[in-house]
Structure 1
Amino acid sequence: MSAEGFHVHGPHDHELEHAAQGTHGGDGFSGKIAVMTAILATVGALFGYQGGATQNDAAMSKNEAAIKKTEAANQWNYYQAKSNKQNLAELAVTLPGVDPEKYRADVARYKTEKDQIKQKADELEAESKDWDKKSEESMHQHHRWALAMTAEQIAISLAAITLLTRKKWLQYAAYGVATVGLVLGVLAWLHF
């Protein structure tokens, strides 16, 4: 405003007034694309979170599988040590000048202990396989979430290009890719 009361404003001020009043043709196209981009970013963030969570689950399951496998290996080593002791006791039974009944009792004891150790080792190996299977399932689900998130990111990129070029076919392409991402997200959620 000047000293005499005239109001002078530049073209930028004029555009801002029209935009605020909605008198410049109301750019609904840009508004729709902006809302779609915000929704896609939110959905993509949720997919990214789920992808990270399932990847962590897979790593934890793989870690448990390794622990169980190590415990099973320890049991098998213990089994082998008992086998060696049993073999020595069986050899001692045949030696002259020893009490064979004492060594026969040792042979029977080692055989019983070996059976228990073998059973424990087999159980631990089965647990290890179960944890490996859980890890693979989690990784499969993680890949689904990652694909869903990637599709949403591509849809966001297409939306940005749509906003710049104002091409309707790009808008439909963004909707299509976003739909593919949503379908992949639903499949991940359903564990397919």
Structure 2
Amino acid sequence: MSGNHFHVHGPHDHELEHAAHHEPKGLAGQLAVITAVLATLGAFFSYMGGATQANAGLFKNNAAITKTEAANRWNYFQAKSSKQNLAEFALDLTVSEEQKAKYREKIARYETEKNEIKAQAEKLEAESTDWDRKSDDQLHLHHRWAQATTALQVGIALAAIALLTKRRWMEYATLGAGAVGIGLGIAAWLHV
């Protein structure tokens, strides 16, 4: 309280002022810093886990779209094959040389078109396979980021237990779980 330049401090005010101007000490201070570091890393790892999960879904979607386009190309290839077969059948039935020349020309055109379509379909299938591989890689990374996040969350929970029980060995368990989480995060970062 303050009045006429007279200021009285209560015991609580003194402790708050002391805590504001001094570093926390002992087990509680160490656990506060450890928890803050683990929570910060956990937030980053969680973000990366979500990003890789989203990428895996997008890549799988791209694989499906590309696979569908490849199937469409193969259907088109089959249609050209059917037309070529009909032209070959007509060639066998035709007597006129003029008509035979026309059908031979169609057969050659269909063969050329089929080869182009086949190349496109095979290229799309390869792209689809590549998108599938990328999706699988992202899903693996997602799992690694999720494992890292979980280990850090366990470390944070152990820090709370250590603070409540005031057991130093629980602080070491906190550090151990944090180290495992950080190791898993590094493995995810390195794509292991």
TM class by shorter chain equals: 0.7 to 0.9
- Aligned counterparts of 1:86 and 1:74: Cα–Cα separation in 2: 18
116-125 or 87-96, which deviates more: 87-96
> How many Å apart are 1:20 and its aligned residue?
4.1
User: TM-score w.r.t. structure 2 length?
Assistant: 0.87
Q: Residue type matched to 1:63 in 2? A: N
Aligned to 2:93, the other structure's residue is in SS state coil
- Aligned counterparts of 1:15 and 1:159: Cα–Cα separation in 2: 27
Aligned CA distance change for structure 1 residues 43 and 174 (closer, same or farther; 3 Å)? same
- Aligned counterparts of 2:119 and 2:17: Cα–Cα separation in 1: 78
Is the contact between residue 27 and residue 168 of structure 2 (CA under 8 Å) also seen in structure 1?
Answer: no
Q: How does 1:114-129 map to 2 (within 5 A)?
A: 114-129=114-129
- Aligned counterparts of 1:184 and 1:96: Cα–Cα separation in 2: 73
Aligned length: 181
- Aligned counterparts of 2:50 and 2:39: Cα–Cα separation in 1: 16
Tell me the C-alpha RMSD between the 2 structures: 2.0
In the alignment, what sits opposite 1:148?
148
Q: How does 1:70-149 map to 2 (within 5 A)?
A: 70-97=68-95, 99-149=99-149
Post-superposition, which runs of at least 4 consecutive aligned residues in structure 1 deviate over 6 A? none
- Aligned counterparts of 2:119 and 2:18: Cα–Cα separation in 1: 80
- Aligned counterparts of 1:133 and 1:92: Cα–Cα separation in 2: 46
In the alignment, what sits opposite 1:4?
none
In the alignment, what sits opposite 1:161?
161
- Aligned counterparts of 1:96 and 1:116: Cα–Cα separation in 2: 28
User: Alpha-carbon deviations, 1:132-162, whole Å to 9, x = none?
Assistant: 1011111111111110000000000000011
Structure 1: 5+ residue stretches without partners? 2-7
Matched-pair identity in % = 56
